[in-house]
Amino acid sequence: MRTALLQSSGRPGSVDENIKILDDAAGRAAAAGAGLLVAPEMFLTGYAIGDDIARLAEPADGASADAITAIAARHGVAVAYGYPERDGERVYNSVQLVTADGPLANYRKTHLFGCFERDHFTPGDQPPVQADLGGLRVGLMICYDVEFPENVRAHALAGTDLLLVPTAQMHPFQFVAESVVPVRAFENQMYVAYVNRAGREGEFEFVGLSVLAGPDGVARTRAGRGEELVVADADPVLLAASREANPYLKDRRPGLYGSLV
Q: How confident is the model at residue 121 (pLDDT cuts 50, 70, 90)?
A: very high
pLDDT at 259: 87
Q: Using CA atoms, how far apart are residues 64 and 250, in angstroms rounded to an integer?
A: 42
The full DSSP string for 194-254 is EE--EEEETTEEEE---EEE-TTS-EEEE--SSSEEEEEE--HHHHHHHHHH--TTTT--G
Q: Is the dihedral of CA 101, 83, 79, 97 positive or negative?
A: negative
pLDDT at 208: 98
Say if residue 90's pLDDT is above 80: yes
Strand locations in 35-167 (E): 36-38, 78-87, 90-99, 102-108, 129-133, 136-140, 162-166
Q: What is the pLDDT of residues 1-30, one digit of tens each?
A: 999 999 999 999 999 999 999 999 999 999
Q: How confident is the model at residue 221 (pLDDT cuts 50, 70, 90)?
A: very high
Q: Using CA atoms, how far apart are residues 188 and 246, in angstroms rounded to an integer?
A: 10
Catalytic residue IDs? 41, 109, 143
Mean pLDDT value across residues 59-67: 98
Q: What is the pTM of this model?
A: 0.97
Q: What is the pLDDT of residues 130-163, one digit of tens each?
A: 999 999 999 999 999 999 999 999 999 999 999 9
Among 130, 182, 205, 203, CA closest to 161: 130
Say if residue 261's pLDDT is above 80: no
Edge-to-edge strands, sheet with 219-222: 129-133, 136-140, 162-166, 191-195, 211-213, 219-222
Coil, strand or helix: which one is 14? coil
Q: Using CA atoms, how far apart are residues 51 and 37, in angstroms rounded to an integer?
A: 28
Say if residue 260's pLDDT is above 90: no
% of residues, the chain, pLDDT over 90: 97
pLDDT at 173: 95
For 2-260, CATH gives 3.60.110.10
Among 47, 53, 54, 82, CA closest to 68: 82
pLDDT at 64: 98
